[in-house]
Amino acid sequence: MIARDALDTRGFTQILTKIAAEAMRHIDCKILIDLIEADCELDLGEIDRLFQEQTADLWPRDCKTALVSSVADDQYSQLSLVSTSLVRHGMRFAVFHDAKTAVEWLDHAT
């Protein structure tokens, strides 16, 4: 999936919800989300609340998701914090600077 332009918490949540719905149909699903051309403004507290309340149970535990981010501004560090939060909720997420490294991580058996 490729996301472009402005991406707020609501948009990011919608992406995750759509991915979760599709991923539930596939065991060991591997997803790459390219956010290099997106301008992310995510609220970590809001994402934490969402996954504590309801969505965590809907996310397939065997699914691996790689986020690819630009290092411009503080987007990479923002997505790293979001990824860390999602990992705390039992999900398999990681953030990368480039797609090649992300694909290698997705391909690695864990």
Q: Cβ distance 59 to 91 under 8 Å?
A: yes
Q: Cβ distance 76 to 69 under 8 Å?
A: yes
pLDDT digits (tens, 9 = 90+) for 46-99: 777 766 665 555 667 778 899 998 876 678 888 888 888 878 877 888 999 999
Question: Bridge partners of 93?
Answer: 65
In the chain, domain spans: 5-12+26-107
Position 51 scores a pLDDT of 67
The two tokens of residue 27 are: 């065991």
Position 63 scores a pLDDT of 84
Closest CA to 66 of 87, 48, 52: 87
